[in-house]
Copies of this chain bind each other. A is one copy, B any other.
């Protein structure tokens, strides 16, 4: 048995450049508003400008960069409007997913496991790992609802939120987040759809209070 994802995947250089930059942007290594230069990056990694340019185009499609013709390419600032929109969508979708999970006998072991990971990451102050585990927790819920594809579709929206979270994580205590996660899981285990929905909405509304504070602390990283 051959893994089709391997034979069908001659990853191009442009794709690798894109992935590299994508990760750096999400982690906050490349701050919002920073300037990107085709030539600089090309020289830096020993390539021609072309693959770098194509990576920029992909980033722009991701909503992470902005190419201004004949002017320059910049890391997109975090749009408060976009974050709020993404949050609303997640709340709506994950509420429904939670109801679906609560209504069936789903395997919740994966979600349970992530709670432990988050405890340890929080204790270590490992921001990146905490965020990754947080994502896996929510992804596991989508999987338990039999809707893995839905989680994939939200990727683009999650990107914007994750950039914000890399900033907020350094400011806020995450034990509260873990508690909210546990509340969700408990409701799901009890098969209580109403409680699960409430827990999900409460959890995702947390960002409504955090966003203004983060934005106030880094005004140059945001647009309205």
Contact = CB atoms under 8 A, between A and B. Distances in A.
Interface size class of A (residues with CB under 8 A): 20 to 34
A146 to B, nearest CB: 10
Contact of A69 (B12, B91, B147, B156): B12
A8 B157 CA distance: 25
Contacts of A86: 153
A70 interface: yes
Interface stretch (A27-35, A77-85, A132-140): A77-85
A100 B58 CA distance: 35
Number of copies: 2
- Among A12, A58, A88, the one with the most B-chain Cβ atoms within 10 Å of its Cβ is A88
A190 B199 CA distance: 30
13 contacts: A8-B68, A10-B69, A57-B57, A61-B61, A82-B149, A84-B149, A85-B149, A85-B150, A85-B152, A86-B153, A89-B154, A93-B93, A156-B156
Given A57-B58, A61-B61, A95-B96, 9 more contacts: A10-B69, A10-B70, A54-B57, A84-B149, A85-B150, A88-B93, A88-B150, A89-B150, A92-B93
